[in-house]
Amino acid sequence: MVKQLCILGSTGSIGTQTLEVVRAYPDRYSVYAICAHRSIDKLIAQAREFHPEVVCIADESLYEPLRDALADLPIKVWAGADAIAEVVTMPSIHVVVAAMVGYAGLRPTIEAIKAGKTIALANKETLVVAGEIICDLATQFHTPILPVDSEHSAIFQSLVGEDQCEIEKILLTASGGPFRTFTLEQMRSVTAADALKHPNWEMGAKITIDSASMMNKGFEVIEAKWLFGVPVEKIQVLVHPQSIVHSAVQFTDGAIKAQLGAPDMRLPIQYALSFPERLASDFPRADLFALQSLTFEQPDLKRFPNLALAYEAMRRGGNMPCVLNAANEVVNLAFRQGRCGFLQMSDIINETMAKANFIAKPTYEDYVNSDAAARRLAESLL
C-alpha cells in the first residue's frame, strides 16, 4: 500500500527532507497534502512537482496569489489555521508529518490524533506545551506517535525489542552548538549570524538558535519524558561534539544501547515513515575509523541556563512548560531581529516563568491562554 502523507511545514528543513524520501520511494509514499506558513514560492514549486490533492498556507493574505499560481492544476488551495487543522483529518491521509515550527503545530497535531492518523512527530513544541493532553489523546484514539528528531528516533530505535525491560536512564546527546567552548564574556557579544553557524546540522533558523542556547535540548528532555514515560530525573544530557551517537538508553542491568550514524535527518525521517521496516538508502555513512574518537562532556548550566530552565519547568509541571516555550519563541525571534542579546534570552525566560500564573492541571483552553499571556509578558520584558 502506498502511504499518503500530509506534510505540515513542507517548505522547512524537515519538510523538504521528507520530500527527498518521497522522491526516493515513489512506490511507497505519495503526497496528499502540503502546508506551509508563508514560503509561497517553495510551496508552489512543491505543488507543481508532487501534485498533491490539497495545498494549504497559514498566512491567509497569501491565499489569492497561491490560488492563482496553481489555477492550471486540479489542486485544492486552502488558507488559515482552521484549514490546516481540517486538512489533517482527511480520510485518504495515512501519516501526518508534523514539522511545523513552534506552538503553531499543536492544534493540527491534536486534530490529526483525534482522526487516528499516524503521527511522524518533528514538532517538539507540541509535547513541550501539552505533553499530557497529547499522550492521553494518543492512548484514547490508539494513534501511534513516531519520533522524527534524531535523538528521540535513536532512543526509539534502542528500545525496539526491549518492551519488558526497565529503563534506568536515557542518555540524550547534544552537539553543544557553535558556542560550546565560548566563555560567558564571549557570548555576550555574539550575533544571530554567529548562532546560525551550527557545526554539524543544517536546520531552520529558529531551531538553530535554540540549539545554540541549548533550549532545544531542554525541549528534547521534556519531549523524551512524554514519549518514553520516564521522569526527568532519569534523562541525562551529554554533550557529544561529533554528533555520531544520536542518543542511548541504559537499562537496569547496566547495558547501554545506542544508535549511531552520520548527522543526516533523512535517516530518522525515513525510519519514522517505514517503521518497522528499514529501507535501503544512499545516505552518508558514519566512518568510525576516520573519526578515531568519540567524546562526551557534562553540559555547563552556568553558560547555558536554558537547559536548567527546561528541567525546572518540567519539574513544576502544569502550564509551566507552555510558559517556557512561549517566552522562548518571543526571545528567539527578538534575538534574530537584533532586539535581544544572546544571554538576555535566558534572563527574560526566567523572569517570565517567575511572573506567569501557574496552573497545575491545565485544559487545552488554559494552554492557549497561558501561551498568549506568556508572550505578552516576555514582550514587555524586552
Q: What are 116-150's pLDDT values in tens digits?
A: 999 999 988 899 999 999 999 999 999 999 999 99
Mean pLDDT of 94-115: 93
Residue 203 clears pLDDT 90, i.e. is over it: no
DSSP-derived secondary structure letter, 53 = S
CA pair distance 114, 118, nearest whole angstrom: 10
Mean pLDDT of 222-226: 96
Residue 10 clears pLDDT 80, i.e. is over it: yes
Residue 54 clears pLDDT 80, i.e. is over it: yes
Q: How far is CA 145 from CA 124, 126, 152, 184, in A?
A: 12, 12, 11, 39
Residues of the chain with CATH 1.10.1740.10: 317-382
Angle, vertex CA 98, rays to CA 93 and CA 102, nearest 5:
150
Mean pLDDT of 333-354: 97
Residue 202 clears pLDDT 70, i.e. is over it: no
Confidence of residue 30 (pLDDT cuts 50, 70, 90): very high
Q: How far is CA 14 from CA 18, 36, 354, 380, in A?
A: 6, 12, 34, 32
Mean pLDDT of 4-29: 96
> Secondary structure of 155-193 in the HEC alphabet?
HHHHHCCCCCCCEEEEEEEECCCCCCCCCHHHHCCCCHH
Tell me: the pLDDT tens digits for 292-326? 899 999 999 999 999 999 999 999 999 999 999 99
Mean pLDDT of 349-375: 96
Element holding 78 (H helix, E strand)? strand 76-79
Return mean pLDDT, the chain: 95
Nearest to 193 by CA among 369, 46, 48, 337: 337
- Asked if residue 370 lies in contact with residue 128, where contact means CB atoms within 8 angstroms, the answer is no
- Asked if residue 103 lies in contact with residue 373, where contact means CB atoms within 8 angstroms, the answer is no
Nearest to 94 by CA among 30, 49, 150: 30
Residue 200 clears pLDDT 70, i.e. is over it: no
Residue 103 clears pLDDT 90, i.e. is over it: no
CA pair distance 280, 270, nearest whole angstrom: 10
Instruction: Give CATH for domain 3-147.
Output: 3.40.50.720
Which CATH code, of 1.10.1740.10, 3.40.50.360, 3.40.190.10, 1.10.10.60, is assigned to 317-382?
1.10.1740.10
Residue 198 clears pLDDT 80, i.e. is over it: no
CA pair distance 151, 222, nearest whole angstrom: 12
How confident is the model at residue 273, as a pLDDT?
Answer: 97
Mean pLDDT of 270-279: 96
Selected residue with higher pLDDT from 202 and 207:
207
Please state the pTM of the whole predicted model. 0.92
Element holding 33 (H helix, E strand)? strand 29-36
Reading across the β-sheet that carries 76-79, which strands appear in turn? 76-79, 54-57, 29-36, 3-8, 95-98, 118-121, 145-147
Residues of the chain with CATH 3.40.50.720: 3-147
